Amino acid sequence: MKVLLSLIKKEFYHIIRDKRSLLILVGMPIVQVVLFGFAISNEIHEAPIAVVAPNKSQKVLRLLERIEVSSYFHIVRFLESGGQLDEVFKEGEIKLVLLIDKDFSRDLGQRKTAKLQVIADATDPNTATTLTGYIEAITNRFAREGFSPLPVGKQMPPLIDINVKMQYNPSLRSVFLFVPGIITVILLLISAMMISITLAREKEKGNMEILLVSPLNPVVIVLGKVLPYVILALVNGWSILLLGVWLFGVPIRGDLVLIFGEMLLFVLTALSLGLFISTKVQTQQAALMISLIGLMLPTIILSGFIFPIESMPLPLQFISHLIPAKWFLIILRAIMLKGATLHYVVKETIILGIICLVLLGLAVKNFKTRLE
């Protein structure tokens, strides 16, 4: 125990005294969050929009009035038809066009589903998402007003079917989805990359020679390496989470203990991966290259962090199943954004657990008690 503590203390000295790793550990999460934070938290004010409304009934006018007074939007033009859309967007002033079905008033009055289409200029995806979000909120509230609640147990049909279309960037995902994504990437970065580099460093500098010659059990050597990074990774994960909540209001609907548990599982998986890499390389440089190219890129591309997996070609979809980050991302999004309980993510958790055990097994099997 004392030995383990002294290994951990030593590891923290390394981290604190190496400007580079300290920068990665502390700087990276902050930079990432702030970067996204700035991109997302641009306050929307009086965004110019256009409206296509063939039938300017009273209900339509009331809806438009509601939108206009919200201070988020300013209706600058009425268009004759949807055909002018492209032209209008290309001029660049209009950020969003609202197309109101000609039967809107009638359908709403008859408690049928009224149709409304929102088309946003998504060349600036973050603004576009925020704008459509506001429009959705306003129209939904508008629809609910003036109608008595339905009997309990009976689901209320959506009264306004809002058809949101992202012009120029159809696969855009909600920004909230980015926070779990950043957490995933940072956890992987700290865990897998840092552990493989730090172990490779011990080999490269010849420190490993001395550690191996000492009576230390290899398990203790590995634990002494791994534990500090588990702690760091968790601290980092939670800081991003809190920054996300505080900076741009990302919801955490699920159980915090569950999030903690899943995070720990993912960190262990990533650490096993890093350990495994380190058993295969001799130099820090090789460790860095493999972690970056072999790990970071597939994770960012194939985990669903940026590109939706459903729209990938089948072979890539298959590969994505092997990426631990994909499963963690699904879990984390479900818990944070949908408030899922363990029950809902049990399949993903088990898969992640299996990947973790396999990687850990491989790493332990390949960790040598001798040189070569």
Partner 1 sequence: MQKTFVRIENLTKRYGEVEALRDISLDIKQGELFGIIGPDGAGKTTLMRILVTLILPDSGEAAINGREVVKDWKYLRKHIGYMPGTFSLYEDLTIEENLHFFATIFGTTKEENYDLIKEIYEHIEPFKDRKAGQLSGGMKQKLALSCALIHRPDFLVLDEPTTGIDAVSRVELWEMLGKLKDEGLTILVSTPYMDEAELCDRVAFLQDGVITEVNAPDTIKKEFDQPLYAMNSKDNYELLMGLRKMDMVRSAFLFGENIHVVTNHSYGEEELQKAVLEEAGIRANIRPIHAGIEDCFMSRMMD
| Residues at the interface with partner 1 (CB under 8 A) | 2-3, 6-7, 10, 13-14, 17-18, 205-207, 209-216, 369-372
How far apart CA 175 and CA 368 sit, in angstroms, is 44
Residue 323 sits at φ, ψ, to 5 deg, of: -90, 115
At residue 24, what are phi and psi to the nearest 5 degrees? -60, -45
Residue 117's φ and ψ, nearest 5 degrees, are -115, 135
Minimum distance from CB of 229 to partner 1 (Å)?
17
Of 93 and 209, the one with the shorter C-beta distance to partner 1 is: 209
Q: How many CB atoms lie within 10 A of CB 113?
A: 15
Residue 129 to residue 202: CA distance in whole angstroms: 47
- Shortest distance in whole angstroms from residue 201 CB to partner 1: 10
Q: 89, 93, 87: which is closest to 48 by C-alpha?
A: 93
Note the helical H segments in the chain. Answer: 2-17, 19-22, 28-40, 58-69, 85-91, 104-109, 125-144, 178-188, 194-205, 207-213, 218-248, 256-280, 284-289, 297-302, 314-320, 324-338, 342-366
Query: Which residue's CB is nearer to partner 1, number 174 or number 217?
Result: 217
What residues contact residue 356 under an 8 Å CB cut-off, 6+ apart? 265, 268, 269, 272, 324
As measured in angstroms, the least distance from the Cβ of 16 to partner 1 is 9
d(CA 137, CA 267): 37
| Nearest CB to partner 1, comparing residues 17 and 90 | 17
Query: In the complex, what is the shortest distance from the CB of residue 91 to partner 1, in angstroms, rounded to a whole number?
Result: 59
Q: Which residue has the tokens 């898969």?
A: 351
14 or 102, CB closer to partner 1? 14
Minimum distance of partner 1 from residue 205's CB (angstroms): 6
Q: Is 165 helix (H, G, I), strand (E, B) or coil?
A: strand
Choice between 122 and 287, CB closer to partner 1:
287
Q: What's the closest the beta carbon of residue 197 comes to partner 1, in angstroms?
A: 14
Nearer to partner 1 (CB atom), residue 55 or residue 207: 207
Strands 73-79 and 96-100: unpaired
The minimum distance between CB 352 and partner 1, in angstroms, equals 33
Nearest distance in Å: CB 23, partner 1: 15
Tell me whether residue 214 or residue 311 sits nearer to partner 1 (CB atom): 214
Q: How far is the CB of 365 from partner 1 (least distance, A)?
A: 17
Residue among 264, 275, 269, 266 at smallest CA distance from 193: 275
- Give the three-class secondary structure for 77: strand
| C-beta closer to partner 1: residue 184 or 198 | 198
Nearest to partner 1 of 18, 103 (CB atom)? 18
Cβ distance to partner 1 smaller for residue 5 or 322: 5
CA distance 115 to 108: 9
b (16+ CB within 10 A) / e for 259-270: beebbebbbbbb
- Shortest Å distance, C-beta 226 to partner 1: 16
Give the max Cα distance, the chain. 86
